[in-house]
Amino acid sequence: MLDGTQVETSGERKQGIGINYKGQWGYHPLVVTLANTREPLFIANRSGNRPSHENSAFYFDLAVQRCRDAGFRKVVLRGDTDFALTENFDRWDADNVEFVFGIDAMPKLVEIAENLDSSAWKAMKRRRSQKPAVEKPRARRPRFKEQIVVRNGYLNKKLASERIAEFDYQPGKCNRTYRVVVLHKEVHLTRGQMRLFDKEQPVYFFYITNATKKLKTPRQVVVDANARCNQENNIAQLKQCCLNAPLSDLTSNWAYMVIASLAWNLKVWSGLLIKPSGTEQERAEQAATKSRVIGMDFRTFRDRILMVPAQIIRRSRTLVYRLLSYRPSVDVLLLIDSNIRRPLRC
């Protein structure tokens, strides 16, 4: 996954800063992450006025090569509409690289969607998470925000239904056609208790992919594209540890971002090193701990796993780490330590 983010700074003597369309001063780093583990593969710092897609194809290619060097057999590129660089589609498809990108709702695509036969549309069903059954479920709290909107007569938009369809489309810079999945959202407008006219312009979202129908249904294409939204969470976590601009120029801040991102990677790698062993119950518990560590927020990992009060006692030939307090997260730290001590197999 790939996305850009704005790193704001109020410094006036930082070389390489720029101002974006929102009036924010700072840098605009490009972040390429591995969706499986959420670890950043590449971070490219740029001036704050540069577009998101600048040099993105170059880093996409580097990410593909790195994943294949690591042993991945299948690589999927995902990004929003800014990264749908159609001039690269044929090259990626010939290289057996799958991609799913959002694409702008251009008038030509909207016209094709509106002229589709009614039989081509199907209801979009989104699966809801299965909540564990409880004897007495807790009562839901009322929607206070909804009550205020209705009472004050604010314009309220409600999603009524979703439909999906697909068609073949050949972008202008491509030599072949690709699948385009269109998601139509019916939005109802209300003001207070009164139902207004439906939204005049239909809401369409388009996704382009080279995945065949046997590999992914239209619904799976939409779900796969929406999973890219987790990139926003990744960037929010990286801003806690590395996406900052404390130094004086673009290159120095770039180096800082790359070096500091190792803190996030070390968190992920410490979880990946856990190899469940023991009885079936112990393996299940350790597997759950492994998943929890990999998906843990950076601050949570720092406060619960790393910031444990301890004494370091230096003896003649050994170091003794004496933990001064106990909490459940200490068991996770000891589990990570026991797995790190195992010899690595290459």
Selected residue with higher pLDDT from 135 and 142: 142
Query: Residue 30 — pLDDT band, cuts 50, 70, 90?
Result: very high
The CA distance from 7 to 27, in Å, is: 5
Residue 148 has pLDDT above 80, yes or no: yes
Residue 13 has pLDDT above 70, yes or no: yes
pLDDT value of residue 132: 59
Question: Considering only CA atoms, which of 101, 106, 64, 96 is closest in space to residue 82?
Answer: 101
Per the DSSP assignment, residues forming a β-bridge with 319 are 314
Nearest 10 degrees: Cα torsion 104, 107, 111, 113:
10
Residue 345 has pLDDT above 70, yes or no: no
**Above pLDDT 90, what percent of the chain?**
40
Q: Residue 8 CB: number of other CB atoms within 10 A?
A: 14
pLDDT value of residue 149: 87
Residue 107 has pLDDT above 70, yes or no: yes
Per the DSSP assignment, residues forming a β-bridge with 155 are 191
Selected residue with higher pLDDT from 158 and 196: 158
Residue 187 has pLDDT above 90, yes or no: no
Query: Residue 2 — pLDDT band, cuts 50, 70, 90?
Result: confident
Q: Residue 149 CB: number of other CB atoms within 10 A?
A: 16
pLDDT value of residue 136: 72
Which tokens hold the place of 86? 């159609």
Residue 342 has pLDDT above 70, yes or no: no
Mean pLDDT of the chain: 87
The CA distance from 317 to 306, in Å, is: 25
Tell me the pLDDT tens digit for each residue of 191-245: 877 776 655 567 899 999 998 888 888 999 998 888 887 788 888 888 988 899 9
User: Could you please report the per-residue DSSP string of 196-254?
Assistant: -PPPSS-EEEEEEE---TTT--HHHHHHHHHGGGHHHHHHHHHTTTT----SSSHHHHH
Burial class (CB in 10 A: 0-12, 13-18, 19+), 265: middle
pLDDT value of residue 90: 93
Burial class (CB in 10 A: 0-12, 13-18, 19+), 221: buried
186 φψ region: left (φ > 0), alpha (ψ -120 to 50), beta (else) = beta
Residue 43 has pLDDT above 90, yes or no: yes
